[in-house]
Structure 1
């Protein structure tokens, strides 16, 4: 099936995804999607939402978890729910195109919420001195660990969002603090630590269910296994497992990345430090899985 871009009513680009409104009428919308390799896309239940949601794969492949392991949708395959009552998360393993049809209009809310919050996350990582791939790396590594732990579709969707958006609250931290080359003063450090709570509040304000659910994880991603983290000083299993995952991979990336105030260290040193802090700063089970997946952490 050929899709002519000239037929699109409106197109939005969200990192790794093209979303185009093809047709709309009587409350029904047909939306073209193009996903880059490795990108995830999801269907989730929403209170009061009763739409039929259907999509047809045009090219590429989508893999998704089911009760019997993973299933693969290939060109010509379709998937639908009416209404969506469970979480479903799909991943492209090559460039993938599909048509998504919904019996209730969603395009503008869907594209605006996704586009705005993702762009914000990328702008923050650049201001914070990271490369533009920092959020993507944290998401990719977190999802590898989540899959290894056997997370269900809802857990994977929420982890996907929380890991990419973990530092989004830094939008409320003054640049003079965020980009300071020297050590922060105690007062500046207290302001910096508030970014985790700012992030939760920002995600809750979107009223998008999967982003709202990601909020507490974002707020906890600087908590530490021994209770020395912030903002609440949570310890061990008081910390969500998703936040414990992000804590490990975010620390690894911070150690190995060049920043305004420090030069990145070799991967071998980062791995040694993560292992040395196993059971103190970091959840021991997460560290073990992280280390076992090192050959995939590229």
Structure 2
């Protein structure tokens, strides 16, 4: 609401100029003028948020923690931000990834407009995720589970902030290529024919192509993760039969997490199995997976769902 006498815009609690509410993240554009924007964020515990550099971007950006605890992950270095802490950069020169240790509220300020691009990108990503889930029949939380577990292992392994940022997108959208797989193949209850399996094995490449078509730098960089997430350390995977060090670590992480989630999740054609049994199966099949990633999975066994 605007006070016509003072010219001051003010909002009641819960109001916003514009807002976006998605799983784990709530955004409210609180103020906008002369190119500057003030955006309220509410991030659910365990969720991730990040800042990335962009060509031609010169804005002052800052965030102020209102409540809760936010962990700043940068490779092996970690810093915890709590209420009253403030960070700023002019401009952001490298990726910064933040993890909500509790439910967190913070204010983000940018001296250049960002809200519309930001919120539209989030809606677009969520739309892709919904399309994947509806197409493949997973539960609505599948993409979020893969992202959350992948980021957990990535932090354990000390990935750089850049790799964590790309892993966040690549894990979330790992199966986006299934959008291009015919329903008759994707939903077939029985064994696929050789021809059908040939099409199914192309979905990682379809996914990389879909992300490439967006033209968004972060998604372009996440494309190889999507394309490689069914490759296997022993060379038995697809679509290119890569092995060992030819598979990126972020891709190797998604491969292990996706296999674990597939084992523990109820599907139309079979029920999920308990966590302990799933870990035993990963252990028996460990030749297929990067040994460091398997080790990270077992180090986090107590934090896994299932």
- Whether 1:70 and 2:104 are equivalent positions in the alignment is no
1:79 to 82, 87, 94: 87
Q: Give 1:292's aligned residue.
A: 299
Q: Give 2:141's aligned residue.
A: 133
C-alpha contact (below 8 Å) 1:55/1:78 kept by paired residues? yes
Shift of 1:67: 8.0
CA distance in 2, matches of 1:294, 1:150: 17
Change (3 A) 1:5 1:182: farther
**Structure 1 outlier segments of 4+, above 6 Å:** none
CA distance in 1, matches of 2:133, 2:262: 11
Shift of 1:232: 0.9
Q: Deviations over 1:144-191 (max 9, x none)?
A: 211111112111111112111111121122222222211122222222
The count of residues paired between Structure 1 and Structure 2 equals 296
CA distance in 1, matches of 2:115, 2:192: 43
SS at match of 1:100: strand
1:179 to 172, 187, 194: 187
CA distance in 1, matches of 2:301, 2:102: 23
TM-score by length of 1: 0.93
Matches within 5 A, 1:111-122: 111-122=119-130
Q: Give 1:254's aligned residue.
A: 262
C-alpha contact (below 8 Å) 1:9/1:23 kept by paired residues? yes
Q: Give 1:94's aligned residue.
A: 102
Gaps of 5+ in 2: 1-9
Shift of 1:3: 6.5
Shift of 1:223: 0.5
- Whether 1:160 and 2:168 are equivalent positions in the alignment is yes
Q: Give 2:249's aligned residue.
A: 241
- Whether 1:282 and 2:289 are equivalent positions in the alignment is yes
CA distance in 2, matches of 1:226, 1:174: 29
- Whether 1:147 and 2:191 are equivalent positions in the alignment is no
TM-score by length of 2: 0.90
Q: Give 1:199's aligned residue.
A: 207
Change (3 A) 1:287 1:268: same
Shift of 1:237: 0.5
Gaps of 5+ in 1: none
C-alpha contact (below 8 Å) 2:212/2:223 kept by paired residues? yes
Shift of 1:204: 2.2
SS at match of 2:286: coil
C-alpha contact (below 8 Å) 2:66/2:83 kept by paired residues? yes
C-alpha contact (below 8 Å) 1:162/1:215 kept by paired residues? yes
Q: Deviations over 1:229-263 (max 9, x none)?
A: 11111111100011111111111111222212333
Q: Give 2:3's aligned residue.
A: none
Q: Give 2:20's aligned residue.
A: 12
Q: Give 1:221's aligned residue.
A: 229
- Whether 1:231 and 2:232 are equivalent positions in the alignment is no
Shift of 1:125: 2.3
Shift of 1:66: 4.9
Q: Deviations over 1:121-151 (max 9, x none)?
A: 1331243122222222212221121111111
Q: Relative to structure 2, which stretch is displaced further, 225-234 or 263-272? A: 263-272
Q: Give 1:56's aligned residue.
A: 64
Shift of 1:68: 8.2
Q: Relative to structure 2, which stretch is displaced further, 106-115 or 183-192? A: 183-192
SS at match of 1:263: coil
